[in-house]
Amino acid sequence: MRLAVIPGDGIGPEVIAEALKVLGEVVPAAEITRYDLGAARWHATGELLPESVLGELRQHDAILLGAVGDPSVPSGILERGLLLRLRFELDHHVNLRPARLYPGVRSPIADPPEIDMVVVREGTEGPYAGNGGLLRKDTPHEIATEVSINTSFGVERVVRDAFARAAARPRRHLTLVHKTNVLTHAGSLWSRVVEEVSLQHPDVTVAYQHVDAATIHMVTDPGRYDVIVTDNLFGDILTDLAAAVTGGIGLAASGNLDVTRRNPSMFEPVHGSAPDIAGQGIADPTAAVLSVALLLDHLGEHEASRRIEASVAFDLATRDHQSPGATYAIGDRLAALVSSNVRTG
Amino acid sequence: MRLAVIPGDGIGPEVIAEALKVLGEVVPAAEITRYDLGAARWHATGELLPESVLGELRQHDAILLGAVGDPSVPSGILERGLLLRLRFELDHHVNLRPARLYPGVRSPIADPPEIDMVVVREGTEGPYAGNGGLLRKDTPHEIATEVSINTSFGVERVVRDAFARAAARPRRHLTLVHKTNVLTHAGSLWSRVVEEVSLQHPDVTVAYQHVDAATIHMVTDPGRYDVIVTDNLFGDILTDLAAAVTGGIGLAASGNLDVTRRNPSMFEPVHGSAPDIAGQGIADPTAAVLSVALLLDHLGEHEASRRIEASVAFDLATRDHQSPGATYAIGDRLAALVSSNVRTG
Ligand SMILES: CC(C)[C@H](C(=O)O)[C@@H](O)C(=O)O
Ligand SMILES: CC(C)[C@H](C(=O)O)[C@@H](O)C(=O)O
């Protein structure tokens, strides 16, 4: 197993160290290559993602990324030039974001129900396409545009993926989230594709919600969701909210998948570089560890993946959530649990 | 005072009846003209908003709207052809949406703090511009676009309005919500405008949050917000979430303002037509009543507005939230409170 690791900025390297500690327990033979992409490299060399590095990354089975972003770099440079560029160049069209309320974890919502959903967020088009511009900048007549681009090709492949996931889950329920009553063009395409693909999945129940209504149900009735399929921007928003409702982005893992497997998929915690707590050794590495579980599952190492997830579940059920421990201590605990081969559930 | 009333679809007419009952107590001389726009008219005549009606609406001091939308009408027809058309034709650039957690009201979040925010949502551009289209429809090569249009003119006027509101509130705090790290063109314009206008308001503290992060804080720390300024789509999403966190869209009022007063402003509950409960007489008219309070405030009837708001606050603090009563009963209660001139706070 050849893995590329991009620790990145802020707390990225801190949580990645623990994620690799845990990985070492289940796949000791994994070959790891580190890439120092991020704010420091940009400051030193002006480079974001050199072609040669991109070429090397392609030679790996998967990529593990910590976090990207730093206050010293103007907004958008690292995000568009590095993180989104990776997602687009490597055709990470399925941005997979599970949100589960683990036993023992406190939700900010009162009397939370069981929550166990997966958001399939489109990852390579929509409002993230980078299409748009500024006209008459810095004049009173300035115009800024952002073009959301949605293709039949791009929408269909994520909708198919979402249906397949829904069909494989016990509840077999899929919710399309969009804003079809306002974004009528993109909304029409998304709705038609969902309708067509649903014909091949008569066993999957399909629902639709406008994105604004979905944020309401995410706090009043999150247990209703099983699989959500949605566009790049709505998925960005909804998955942060889903993470909040299930205990915070300290626990939310994600996979950026090229489901065709032509390119390596990339796994990363949903949280960012958190510059406010970077360097203090207090970041929770759990989301990074769960991202390793997603990575292993993607590479067919299902048993190793389950062991990590079960260890995290056990730790969350038993940890003192007021003082869960330092970053390294949580990593040590999870590594020990994984190596002792704990099984729960 | 000449008011145009558009009861609209679903529960719209039900809640509007109660809103007018309450209005009758404070401004008995108000001249009311009803317009039967909505699903029924569209089915009967194909008309959404005839020019002649639009011309008549312009002759009023303000418009009160119930709700627009019906499952029998394809998604987008009524929304774009009637509701959004009104907002755009009447230049309702400031979409004002207060969210306050009233004493006695249960929030879905555990241990909620004091919440008292106002969202200033841009109302006439952004992703709502209606710009975009479909190419190669119903082929495997279909492309759907949606263009977000943001102008210096359009952004500046709502940012100015938001700063003025923030400056007049005790906390003097303003948060810009956007996604500047991805939507870099529109984000750049919004950020620069906020920066420029802030120079004229050194007394207002300015913060920035990405929209995804804002949804997290909306459930983990909603007390932090005072005034939020944001674009049309982010504002749509955030205000539904803010309404959920403060007890539900049954209580959320809004004003679509042309702050230049060239056109009548329009006031409406944030909730929709709720076809699932329409005709049963169980819809909560409180949001419609609070919309009347916003309307009166906008027309300079500050004392009448305060009386309505105080009556609502009193009712919410004392009502049985399990069974708040039928639509007409809540309206009766609020009308009685208003006429007995209750003052609280
Ligand atoms: C950092 C940013 C570009 C990114 C996104 O918007 O996708 C992040 O919010 C995420 O969700 O992974
Ligand atoms: C009905 C719809 C067009 C509308 C909007 O998106 O603005 C509604 O959600 C709102 O918030 O008033």
B300-310: pLDDT as tens digits: 999 999 999 99
- Each residue of B264-291: b (16+ CB within 10 Å) or e? bbbbbbbbbbbbeebeeeebbbbbbbbb
A193: amino acid identity, one letter: V
Q: Does any ligand 2 atom lie closer than 6 A to the CB of residue B83?
A: yes
User: What pLDDT tens digit does each residue of chain A (345 aa) get?
Assistant: 999 999 999 999 999 999 999 999 999 999 999 999 999 999 999 999 999 999 999 999 999 999 999 999 998 999 999 999 999 999 999 999 999 999 999 999 999 999 999 999 999 999 999 999 999 999 999 999 999 999 999 999 999 999 999 999 999 999 999 999 999 999 999 999 999 999 999 999 999 999 999 999 999 999 999 999 999 999 999 999 999 999 999 999 999 999 999 999 999 999 999 999 999 999 999 999 999 999 999 999 999 999 999 999 999 999 999 999 999 999 999 999 999 864 443
Q: Are residues B242 and B257 in the same domain?
A: no
Q: Are residues B85 and B163 in the same domain?
A: no
pLDDT one-digit tens code per residue, B120-146: 999 999 999 999 999 999 999 999 999
The structure tokens 């329409």 sit at: B278
**Sign (positive or negative) of CA dihedral B248, B249, B251, B253:** positive
Q: Does any ligand 2 atom lie closer than 6 A to the CB of residue A212?
A: yes
Probe site for chain A from B215, B231, B234, B270 (most A CB atoms < 10 A): B215
R_g of chain A computed on alpha carbons? 20
Q: Are residues A111 and A242 in the same domain?
A: yes
Give which of B214, B136, B142 is closest to B178, Cα–Cα: B214
Q: What is the CATH number of the domain that holds A222?
A: 3.40.718.10
Give which of A42, A132, A123, A128 is closest to A87, Cα–Cα: A123
Let me know if B102 is a catalytic residue: no
Whether the Cβ atoms of residue B272 and residue B9 lie closer than 8 Å to each other: no
HSE value, Cβ hemisphere, 13 Å, CA-based, for A75: 18
**Has residue B341 got a pLDDT over 80?**
no
At A239 the pLDDT is: 98
At A345 the pLDDT is: 37
Are A152 and B134 a contacting pair at CB < 8 A? no
The structure tokens 């579940």 sit at: A313
Let me know if B332 is a catalytic residue: no
Q: Which residue of B has its CA nearest to A189?
A: B144
At A344 the pLDDT is: 44
Query: Which ligand has an atom closest to residue B269 CA?
Result: 2
Whether the Cβ atoms of residue A250 and residue A271 lie closer than 8 Å to each other: yes
User: What's the burial of B122, exposed, middle or buried (CB within 10 Å: 0-12/13-18/19+)?
Assistant: buried
Q: Does any ligand 2 atom lie closer than 6 A to the CB of residue A220?
A: no
In a domain, B100, yes or no: no
**Cα of A236 to ligand 1 centre, how many Å?**
6
Give dist(CA A325, CA A71) in Å, integer.
27
Q: Which residue of B has its CA nearest to A106?
A: B110
**Cα of B236 to ligand 2 centre, how many Å?**
6
Q: Which residue of A has its CA nearest to B142?
A: A152
Give which of A234, A148, A149, A191 is closest to B143, Cα–Cα: A149
Facing B185 at nearest CB: one of A145, A182, A219 = A145
Chain B residues in contact with A108 (beta carbon < 8 A): 109-110, 219-220
User: What's the burial of A171, exposed, middle or buried (CB within 10 Å: 0-12/13-18/19+)?
Assistant: middle
Sheet with B126-135, edge to edge strand ranges: A126-135, A143-151, B143-151, B126-135
- pLDDT band of B314, cuts 50, 70, 90: very high
Q: Are residues B197 and B171 in the same domain?
A: yes
At B344 the pLDDT is: 44
Chain B residues in contact with A145 (beta carbon < 8 A): 147-150, 185-186
Q: Does any ligand 2 atom lie closer than 6 A to the CB of residue B236?
A: yes
Give dist(CA A160, CA A174) in Å, integer.
11
Q: Are residues B226 and B291 in the same domain?
A: no
Q: Are residues B214 and B343 in the same domain?
A: no
Q: How many separate domains does chain A show?
A: 2
In a domain, B88, yes or no: yes
Which residues surround ligand 1 with Cβ inside 6 Å? A 69, 79, 83-84, 236, 270, 272; B 181-182, 212
Last residue of a domain, one of A199, A217, A246: A246
In a domain, A183, yes or no: yes
**Has residue B345 got a pLDDT over 50?**
no
In a domain, A275, yes or no: yes
Last residue of a domain, one of A219, A246, A273: A246
DSSP string across B135-176: ESTTSTT-EEEEEEEEEHHHHHHHHHHHHHHHHTSTT-EEEE
A299: amino acid identity, one letter: L
Q: Are residues A218 and A269 in the same domain?
A: no
**Has residue B342 got a pLDDT over 80?**
no
This prediction's pTM: 0.97
Give which of B146, B151, B330 is closest to B251, Cα–Cα: B330
* Segment B43-48 long-range contacts (CB within 8 Å, at least 24 positions apart): B43/B72, B43/B73, B48/B77, B48/B78, B48/B81, B48/B82, B48/B85
Q: Are residues A226 and A293 in the same domain?
A: no
In a domain, B101, yes or no: no
Query: Which ligand has an atom closest to residue A291 CA?
Result: 1
A70 CA: distance to closest CA in chain B (Å) = 11
At A190 the pLDDT is: 98
Give dist(CA B215, CA B28) in Å, integer.
42
In a domain, A4, yes or no: yes
Determine the structural domain holding residue A23 and report its residue range: 1-96+252-345
Last residue of a domain, one of B214, B246, B278: B246
Please state whether beta strands B205-210 and B173-178 pair in parallel, antiparallel, or not at all (unpaired). Answer: parallel
**Cα of B52 to ligand 2 centre, how many Å?**
24
At B164 the pLDDT is: 98
Number of CB atoms found within 10 A of residue B44's CB? 9
